[in-house]
Amino acid sequence: MDLSLTESQEMLRTTARSFMQRETPVDVVVGLQKAESSLERDLWAKAARLGWLGIVLPAEYGGSGDSLSDAAVLYEELGRGPLPGPFFSSGVLGALTVLEAGTDEQRRRILPGVATGETVLTVAITEPNTSWGPGGITLAPQGRNGSFVLNGTKLFVSDATSATDLIVAVRTGDGPTDVSLLHVDAKARGVSTRRLPGFLSWQCEVSFDNVQVPATSLLGEAQRGWAALSRALERAIPILCAYIVGGCQAVYEKSVLYTQTRVQFGVPIGRFQRVQDHVVRLVNHLDSARWATWEALWKLDTGRPATASVHMAKAVASEAYLDVCNAAHEVHAGMGVLIEYGLPAHTQMSRTLFHYLGDPRWHKRRMADALEW
Amino acid sequence: MDLSLTESQEMLRTTARSFMQRETPVDVVVGLQKAESSLERDLWAKAARLGWLGIVLPAEYGGSGDSLSDAAVLYEELGRGPLPGPFFSSGVLGALTVLEAGTDEQRRRILPGVATGETVLTVAITEPNTSWGPGGITLAPQGRNGSFVLNGTKLFVSDATSATDLIVAVRTGDGPTDVSLLHVDAKARGVSTRRLPGFLSWQCEVSFDNVQVPATSLLGEAQRGWAALSRALERAIPILCAYIVGGCQAVYEKSVLYTQTRVQFGVPIGRFQRVQDHVVRLVNHLDSARWATWEALWKLDTGRPATASVHMAKAVASEAYLDVCNAAHEVHAGMGVLIEYGLPAHTQMSRTLFHYLGDPRWHKRRMADALEW
Amino acid sequence: MDFEVTYTEEQQRFRREVRAWLEANVAPSMLRTPTSAEDNYRRYLELRDLGRKLGAKGWLYPTAPAKYGGGGLDVDHAIILEEEVDRFDLSLPPYYDSGGRLGSASILVWGTEEQRQAFLPPIYRGEVRTWQLLTEPGAGSDLAGVRMTTAVRDGDGYVIRGQKIFVGSDNGTDRIWMIVNTDPKGKRHENLSWFMIDASLPGITMQPMELMGTGGEGGTDSGVKQTVFFDDVRVPAFALVGGENKGWTVATTHLELEHGGGGRIGRNRVWDRLLRYCQETKRDGVPLSQQQDVRDSLADIYIKTEVQRLFGLRNFYLTYARKPKSYEGPQLSYYRKTTGLWMTGAILEAVGPAALTTDPAWGAPSGFLETQQRNGIVSVHPGGTTDIQRVQMARRIGIGRSTREKAGTVHGAE
Amino acid sequence: MDFEVTYTEEQQRFRREVRAWLEANVAPSMLRTPTSAEDNYRRYLELRDLGRKLGAKGWLYPTAPAKYGGGGLDVDHAIILEEEVDRFDLSLPPYYDSGGRLGSASILVWGTEEQRQAFLPPIYRGEVRTWQLLTEPGAGSDLAGVRMTTAVRDGDGYVIRGQKIFVGSDNGTDRIWMIVNTDPKGKRHENLSWFMIDASLPGITMQPMELMGTGGEGGTDSGVKQTVFFDDVRVPAFALVGGENKGWTVATTHLELEHGGGGRIGRNRVWDRLLRYCQETKRDGVPLSQQQDVRDSLADIYIKTEVQRLFGLRNFYLTYARKPKSYEGPQLSYYRKTTGLWMTGAILEAVGPAALTTDPAWGAPSGFLETQQRNGIVSVHPGGTTDIQRVQMARRIGIGRSTREKAGTVHGAE
């Protein structure tokens, strides 16, 4: 048994943390919030040079062949920002989806560009019904001259406004999981993307208006898309959870510091049991998310059955981040709602990720199924 | 608008409270806990003389013809004990069920005895499936020579071990609400009752082994039993809620007194915000239950549609009492679990009444139905 | 008990009169979501105009004494007015007027007769809008710790300097109702004073703060509060209300009202719109309101809003029947704040990410759910955090301190 | 990271040895629910006998130093032992031995060599059972406030008088591990001392307290704790551990362990039985576990027990890898206690009133759910209330006090 990071993971953490401190202090993160695209060119290029964009990819596809746990160490640091940008959408979920679904030719064609950052992927799954199950996928392409024609909408697609390539889950049969994955050029005629406005982070609408997609854009085989996507999700979700854990950790540190330095009634507010209790609630969530996430990662990296653990991790992490931010707002009162202070960026991200890739109820029910109760 | 009690209600409250203080101090309530029957003869006789057993009955059936709100004032005081005994089972739910379901002849035959205390009713509804809906009633009598023959079990029947007469809900048809009510002598051959052991208060098993019930024992008409029972429940439940409110109030007062007098770390423990917060949680539950209950009573007494309010009151009160006791245990720590201190009697009652006549989930769903969402 | 006001025929006539007047004077466009900063300002001016018309009829502050320009109406008529205004999704006043509501109540209790005559009529008639200025960078929950903003006696007036934050909303104010320190070396609770001053005095400048939301009163979700700077602002001595260094006493009235002591009748607007949204929005062909998970969430949300309504009704009754109160004011405030925060999660779970977007196609109408998601968090703090409400509750319950604390006086001279 | 112990072939052999031994030595009847007080006592004697047999093999306190009679086993072997014992629904020791567990750990850190040699072997070998005596009528959460029970130096020993409550379980004890006041006029935290004494000394009497439940450690749900009276009990000076008036220092070790600092591996027994019960119990023909509402409750319960397991595992790792700890001990304790209390409601809602009865026909097997309903409440208090756990967490996080508090030492001489 060993619950500490490896030496190389500690190094990665140190590198990532100092990069973040240098390149993305709070004012940078806050400044990015209003941009239509979450991708900041300069940051993206630097991240590519550090090998972060191909961290989950094997060396043969231009990646660094690191374990999921290694990637999680990085994403925990990114989550501290919370650093926006399609890091996860492209470098993790997109990359793993192509890896799981694509033919070897497709992998070799698409993935090296993902690692270099030239290609920016996002995976478009949900539709206006907002369901994360295969039943929620109703966008059905019509066949025409051996190619597909897409008409319809994908909703709450992460980072679509910065993507160069979309992986679109489409319905190609009547069976419950008759889903295929299409690789669509984001600049193809008829594709439009826009960031949805409001209290959420780069969740986008993607519209398809008579979009012609060549037959060769079918990733792997038809009808096998859902199985491939499920495998990719199972590996990607714990990395998203690590991002959330990083967010919780940053909010925790902010909150502890505030209780130690903010003076009211003549003493630091941390002296008040009520304020302490907000922090206690916060740290309990943080640690719940952390250890559920790391156990899932460990199971995946060691080839153990991990499905139930992954579902549990996402349920726990989603609930944790939401309430961690609530607790932090109670600690900070008015100060916490100042945009420039940086807490609202986490709050907004926590709401976004509550639902993204499945909300707690969804994952709890899938967990129960996986445990075969 | 007037949210205060009437003068006569204030008088009833004073009478009831001083009766309780004199006749049923904590050691008496605690002493009664282990008895197989919840009925204490001497108390019962005194309550009958005070007119408490017929408080919801019209004068023509030997009652005092008081409003439901009046009865609620009384039951709030009884709940402070919490005073055990079939007061509610017989004097409220039993009485109202006979009133709603019975023919006038049956009412005249049964109800005066209820008011004098000679007859002790209980209504047997739930079965091993523990459902409070009509679908849960599966005990089906066989007809033989114009009478009914009962074989089976009713479960979690309140105060059955002290009842002289049982009102038994039985299935007499295949329609969802094809339920009839039988008036069964608790001493009839083949009827046996026993108090279920454990962390609950006088919830009993009632077994029927070839019990012969004459046809005249059918209350009112066949198949109309569920409708009558529903009307009785709608009027009885808020009085049970008032009993719960009284329990919450007593636990609140105990807790406030304890925080004021218990000294730890050199100060009364009420100085600690964490302890205060248990009390705050407690009083919020108490007041939620109180006002939800009283609004439902007001609607019933003034002839307004009250179904949704009644369901809400029971849901709120059930949750309140449970968590009020939890909060009180946190305030009292070790002292609170001493049987002789009296808090455990409330805790046990709160668990019992959580489910009795429908748990919060059940009532919330019926409330939503009643509101026609 | 009686949970409803029983209206006389005369009162029902009054209701019809009010309704007809509102129908004639409230343009639906007043309730629009502004499309730009200019439009926001235009809308504000329309609402101020409506306020003046209401004020002229005594309906802006209906229960305020008629002799100072208020409506002088009894509580039953006031309820009718509130109910009718509520039908239009408006409150009284129909714009952010925190200093008007709370300042006027305080002046009624603690002001001199001259001050009442001078300060109250413009407020009650809707001629002026007033913001309250309490919080400072170093004094939030600890209002008694106000120290940064001071007023120093100078001849026939005072000179104010310092800084207040989290003030007002947008589009400026006419008057300022503020608490300052008048004795920096004085004892806690014996060194504060209240002033009612003109917002246009030289030396006052404002700078907007960008916030996650405002959590403000009815309708003003501008997302903006102000930082207000005072650079040697001269004010007349007459502006001092309640006496020098007597500010904490005045604050007890102010805070009791702000903490929910006054009670409230009327429905929860978010609830009504949420239910309608869930009934009208179908997913996979089924209305949200017919899906069991959503239904269960709705039931929980409904119950909390009902309990909040009942607490508000109780406080309203206790206030106007002049019954003694103890913890009920801060209890309502605590319940409202914690329920609002809890509802953010419950709604997000029930409705999904559509609750987060203001998008006309995919969000809820006028983005009202998105507003709730923000304001449910932000509202936890203004007017005393949930922690402070619990401090108050505990003191009034009689635990935590050797003596039980009383609720502040909310009834003034009439 | 690695969340599992990787066992060597030698260790797997050890596991087989342990399992075979337990199968030969643990009679199923030891796990019976006693049918009477006599039967309860007989069962206790059987468990004590099992304890002695385990002790003789060094398996009762497996990681305790061999030179004092412990097992001297490394942590991997200890885990194997715990896991195997757990398979039999037993713990180590298989009876209530709080003073043995916590007293021996404290003596290992703070006792003299002579005291270790004298006190530890009988504990580790299972020859004696020891109860801890901490709480007094006036000192519960405030352990440093112990004042009623005093020890006064008298010649070559001490004379103890006073009273302790909430002690032990049923069937008596051999030894007593207790904290007393040795300087009634001394400063707080500088006036306490610990004693390890014989329970049979003249002047010690016990009287059972009737409780709602005991919330005790594995298996002893007797519903009884004792009040223990000390009437001028003479004890030798040798019984004083850690030095006169140094008791608070010793307590930091004791409390760190009691507050969860040691960690724990192993599954949650209530969970396993609850799931099995829900799978095997049908209502209206459908297993409870197949009903969506119950399934949702089960998922919530499962997740909390999993998080608790992970916290326990983490603390276990930190302890045995000798990594620094801060708030993790009291966090585990707080989480376990609040989860247990929360579970009472979740189970009651999921299972209904069947959770409340011990009835063989209508309740859960052996009334284990009824026991949880009681003990989930009662367990919130012993070993520090949830409030006290939060005090500890806050101090160790470094808020609330000017200096961050450290976790107590839990490693002794080896």
Distance of alpha carbon A88 from alpha carbon A114, whole angstroms: 11
* Shortest Cα–Cα distance, D111 to chain B (Å): 28
* Shortest Cα–Cα distance, C74 to chain B (Å): 13
Distance of alpha carbon B65 from alpha carbon B265, whole angstroms: 55
- CA-nearest of C43, C407, C24, C21 to C220 is C43
For every residue of D168-187, DSSP letters joined together read --SS--SEEEEEEES-TTSP
| Both structure tokens of C210 | 């960008």
For every residue of C51-81, DSSP letters joined together read HHHHHHTT-SSTTS-GGGTS----HHHHHHH
For β-strands B165-171 and B121-124, DSSP reports them as: parallel
- Please answer yes or no on whether D323 and A271 come within 8 Å at the CB atom: no
CATH code, D259-397: 1.20.140.10
Contacts of D299 in chain A (CB under 8 A): 364-365, 367-368
Do residues A358 and A314 lie in contact, with contact meaning Cβ atoms separated by under 8 Å? yes
Task: Give B26's contacts (C-beta < 8 A, 6+ positions apart).
Answer: B340, B341, B342
Which among B4, B279, B294 is the nearest to C399, CB-wise?
Answer: B279
Q: HSE-up of C268 (CA within 13 Å, CB side)?
A: 22
Residue D217's pLDDT is 38
Which class does domain B226-372 fall in?
mainly alpha
Q: Rounded to 5 degrees, what angle do the CA atoms D108, D114, D116 make?
A: 25
Residue D383's pLDDT is 78
Q: What is the pLDDT of residues D179-193, one digit of tens each?
A: 999 999 999 999 999
Distance of alpha carbon B279 from alpha carbon B255, whole angstroms: 7
- Please answer yes or no on whether B200 and D359 come within 8 Å at the CB atom: no
- Please answer yes or no on whether A260 and D398 come within 8 Å at the CB atom: yes
Which chain B residue is nearest to residue A278, measuring alpha carbons? Answer: B274
What single-letter amino acid sits at C13? R
Distance of alpha carbon A351 from alpha carbon A362, whole angstroms: 16
- Please answer yes or no on whether D2 and A271 come within 8 Å at the CB atom: no
| Both structure tokens of B215 | 């046809």
Distance of alpha carbon B263 from alpha carbon D180, whole angstroms: 19
* Shortest Cα–Cα distance, A149 to chain C (Å): 23
Q: What is the pLDDT of residues B235-293, one digit of tens each?
A: 999 999 999 999 999 999 999 999 999 999 999 999 999 999 999 999 999 999 999 99
What single-letter amino acid sits at C143? L
Chain position carrying tokens 């993160």: A29
Q: Name the stretches of chain D with pLDDT < 70.
A: 214-223, 258-267, 402-403, 410-414
Task: Give A195's contacts (C-beta < 8 A, 6+ positions apart).
Answer: A36, A37, A161, A202, A203, A204
What single-letter amino acid sits at B98? V
- Please answer yes or no on whether B287 and C391 come within 8 Å at the CB atom: no
Distance of alpha carbon A239 from alpha carbon A237, whole angstroms: 5
What's the CATH fold of domain B122-223? Butyryl-CoA Dehydrogenase, subunit A; domain 2 (2.40.110)
Distance of alpha carbon C44 from alpha carbon A254, whole angstroms: 38
Contacts of B156 in chain D (CB under 8 A): 353
Which chain B residue is nearest to residue A273, measuring alpha carbons? Answer: B273
- Please answer yes or no on whether C311 and B295 come within 8 Å at the CB atom: no
- Please answer yes or no on whether D359 and B351 come within 8 Å at the CB atom: no
Size of interface B-D (CB pairs under 8 A): 117
Q: What is the pLDDT of residues C343-363, one digit of tens each?
A: 999 999 999 999 999 999 999
Which chains border C (3 or more CB–CB pairs < 8 Å)?
A, B
pLDDT, block means (10 residues), chain A with 373 residues: 94 97 95 91 96 96 95 98 97 98 97 98 96 95 90 97 98 95 98 96 97 96 96 98 98 97 92 96 98 98 97 98 98 94 97 97 98 96
| Both structure tokens of D333 | 């304790």
A176 touches C at CB < 8 Å: no
Element (H, E) at B161: none
Answer whether residue B216 shows pLDDT above 90: yes
Task: Give A192's contacts (C-beta < 8 A, 6+ positions apart).
Answer: A206, A207, A209
Domain ranges of chain A: 7-118, 122-223, 226-372
- CA-nearest of D132, D191, D143, D181 to D161 is D181
pLDDT, block means (10 residues), chain C with 414 residues: 88 96 93 84 94 96 94 87 87 91 93 97 97 93 92 96 93 96 94 97 95 59 83 97 94 73 71 95 94 97 96 90 90 94 96 95 91 92 88 91 70 53
For residue D193, the cross-strand partners are: D180
Do residues D123 and D111 lie in contact, with contact meaning Cβ atoms separated by under 8 Å? no
SS3 A207: strand
* Shortest Cα–Cα distance, A319 to chain D (Å): 12
> What ipTM was estimated for this complex?
0.95
> The domain at C130-245 falls in which architecture?
Beta Barrel (2.40)
A26, A138, A199, A275, best to mutate vs chain C, most C CBs in 10 Å: A199
- Please answer yes or no on whether B271 and C298 come within 8 Å at the CB atom: no
A265 touches B at CB < 8 Å: no
Contacts of D348 in chain B (CB under 8 A): 322, 351, 354-355
Residue D266's pLDDT is 66
Q: Which of residues 192-231 of A touch C (CB under 8 A)?
A: 196-200, 203, 205
Question: C368-378 and A307-332 are packed helices; what angle lies between their axes, rounded to 10 degrees?
Answer: 60
A361 touches C at CB < 8 Å: yes
Task: Give A8's contacts (C-beta < 8 A, 6+ positions apart).
Answer: A70
What's the CATH fold of domain A7-118? Butyryl-Coa Dehydrogenase, subunit A; domain 1 (1.10.540)
Cα dist. B31→B25, B84, B345, D248 in Å?
A: 10, 11, 10, 41
D211, D294, D389, best to mutate vs chain B, most B CBs in 10 Å: D211
B26 touches C at CB < 8 Å: no
Residue C230's pLDDT is 98
Do residues A151 and A210 lie in contact, with contact meaning Cβ atoms separated by under 8 Å? yes
Distance of alpha carbon A104 from alpha carbon A112, whole angstroms: 12
Distance of alpha carbon C397 from alpha carbon C269, whole angstroms: 31
Helix (H), strand (E) counts: chain D: 11, 10
Do residues C309 and C267 lie in contact, with contact meaning Cβ atoms separated by under 8 Å? yes
Distance of alpha carbon B126 from alpha carbon B168, whole angstroms: 10
SS3 A103: coil
User: Residue C307: how many CB atoms within 10 A of its CB?
Assistant: 21
CA dihedral angle for residue C98, residue C100, residue C105, residue C110, rounded to 10 degrees: 110
Do residues C203 and C230 lie in contact, with contact meaning Cβ atoms separated by under 8 Å? yes
Residue D219's pLDDT is 39
Which chain A residue is nearest to residue B276, measuring alpha carbons? Answer: A274
Contacts of B365 in chain C (CB under 8 A): 295-296, 299
Name every residue in C having a CB less than 8 A away from some CB of B: 1-6, 275, 278-279, 289, 295-296, 298-300, 302-303, 306-307, 310-311, 313-314, 317-318, 321, 323, 327, 331, 334-335, 390-391, 393-394, 397-401
SS3 C194: strand
A287, A297, A316, best to mutate vs chain D, most D CBs in 10 Å: A287
Q: What is the pLDDT of residues C74-100, one digit of tens each?
A: 878 888 898 899 888 888 999 999 899
Do residues A23 and A80 lie in contact, with contact meaning Cβ atoms separated by under 8 Å? no
- CA-nearest of A273, A256, A280, A363 to A314 is A363
- What pTM did the predictor assign? 0.94
Query: What would the mean pLDDT of B211-231 be, rounded to a whole number?
Result: 96
Residue C224's pLDDT is 81
B274 touches D at CB < 8 Å: yes
- CA-nearest of B43, B62, B61 to B51 is B62
Which among B264, B347, B348 is the nearest to D140, CB-wise?
Answer: B264
